[in-house]
Amino acid sequence: MKLLDGKVAIITGASRGIGKGIATLFAQQGAHVAFTYASSDEKARALEQELSAFGTKIKGFKSDAADFEAAQSLVDAVVAEFGTVDVLVNNAGITRDTLLMRMSEEQWDEVIRVNLKSVFNLSKAVIKPMMKAKSGSIINMSSVVGVKGNAGQANYAASKAGIIGFTKSMAAEMGSRNIRCNAIAPGFIETEMTGALAEDVVQKWRDTIPLKRGGSTEDVANVTLFLASDMSAYVTGQTLHVCGGMLM
Ligand code: NAP
């Protein structure tokens, strides 16, 4: 028996990085996966093909998570094609790093829209099918930066801290409906988002981490699987840190 046998999962931002890792593990564990992306059409088609080998229904949707109407249309389309939504992973995210002195209003708004408003958009849209099913698990991708703050990332830190407050509130509101809501705070995970950094900078990061390595997309996917599955049936409103002990 696989951990997500027959479950329907929506994963935002899964054309690459952590989202792709989650989509892959979910499909391996028997889930039907509807994933989204912003612009990577080719990568999305390749992932659809790759994951179809696991034998469940897989479909990529080009859908801007920051757009309220688009999120509602996405969920409507998934319910029409897949029947329901059991799991939502709000993973899509961007950075527009710069010191506050130089940060433009556009850089602030863009990060808050894509990282935080998207969580509101998608979570609100799945409430109806999850209430109908009398169960659901929502997992929001925060960051250690949302807990600790980071120079040059005031917009990103605010969006990721906002996600934690949203998660606790949603858990409190929806618990009586058997809808769970948790957050994950990854530390330094080596993906395209971090691939832009110089190797010596990356090595310095690794040296400061108690487990002495950057995290992998699989490290985050494993914890996401736990929160998505019935293994975590009595866990809600929590933030799990996946950071190799970077933040204790
Ligand atoms: P990534 O490699 O840059 O991938 C981002 C994904 O989000 C892509 O699939 C991208 O689609 C999609 N996306 C971007 N804007 C979108 C939008 N408006 N609507 C829908 N999809 C959108 O990022 P990552 O490193 O895997 O990070 C994934 C999540 O983990 C983010 O929320 C990030 O903040 C968080 N996180 C990452 C780290 C880390 O060290 N990497 C640490 C802590 C938290 P396209 O390919 O089409 O652009």
What CA–CA distances, in Å, run from 106 to 92, 96, 113, 151, 154?
Answer: 18, 10, 10, 18, 13
Ligand 1 centroid distance, CA of 14 (Å): 8
Q: What is the DSSP letter of 101?
A: G
Span 204-221, average pLDDT: 96
Q: Strand, coil or helix: what is 34?
A: strand
Using a 6 Å cutoff on CB, does residue 40 contact ligand 1? yes
Å from CA of 101 to ligand 1 middle? 25
Chain centroid, CA 186 distance in Å? 10
- Mean pLDDT confidence for 153-168: 99
> Among the options 37, 61, 156, 166, which is catalytic?
156
Asked if residue 194 has pLDDT above 90, the reply is no
Residue minimizing CA distance to atom 31 of ligand 1: 93
Residue 83's pLDDT is 98
For the segment 140-152, the average pLDDT, to the nearest whole number, is 98
pLDDT, average across residues 140-146: 98
Most ligand 1 atoms within 8 A of CB, residue of 37, 41, 219 to mutate: 37
Ligand 1, atom 46: nearest CA belongs to which residue? 40
Does the Cβ of 221 fall within 6 Å of ligand 1? Answer: no
Q: Which of 24, 74, 94, 119 to mutate to test the pocket of ligand 1 (most atoms within 8 A of CB)?
A: 94
Residue 193 has pLDDT above 80, yes or no: no
Ligand 1 atom having least distance to the Cα of 67: 18
Q: So what's the pLDDT on residue 192?
A: 80
| Environment class of 57 (CB within 10 Å of its CB; exposed 0-12, middle 13-18, buried 19+) | middle
Per-residue confidence (pLDDT) for residue 196, from 0 to 100: 81
Indicate whether 1 pLDDT > 90: no
The answer on pLDDT for 4 being more than 90 is yes
What is the 1 CA–ligand 1 centroid distance (Å)? 31
Q: Residue 195 — very low, low, confident or very high, per pLDDT cuts 50/70/90?
A: confident
Cα separation, 13 vs 35, in Å, equals: 7
Spatial distance between the Cα atoms of 211 and 213, rounded to a whole number of angstroms: 6
Does the C-beta of 153 come closer than 6 Å to ligand 1? Answer: no
pLDDT of residue 197: 84
Q: 205 with 232: CB under 8 angstroms?
A: no
- 66 pLDDT exceeds 80? yes
Indicate if 156 belongs to the active site. Answer: yes
- Set out the domains of the chain in order of their start, with CATH numbers: 8-242 (3.40.50.720)
Q: In this predicted model, what pLDDT tens digit does every residue of 220-245 receive, in sequence order?
A: 999 999 999 999 999 999 999 999 99
CA atoms of 13 and 23, how far apart (whole Å): 10
Tens digits of residue pLDDT in 12-54:
999 999 999 999 999 999 999 999 999 999 999 999 999 999 9
pLDDT at 221: 98
The pLDDT tens digits of the residues spanning 70-102 come to 999 999 999 999 999 999 999 999 999 999 999
Give me the pLDDT at residue 217, please.
98
> What would the pLDDT profile of 101-138 be if each residue is shown by its tens digit?
999 999 999 999 999 999 999 999 999 999 999 999 99
Q: Kindly state if the Cβ of 123 falls inside 6 Å of ligand 1.
A: no
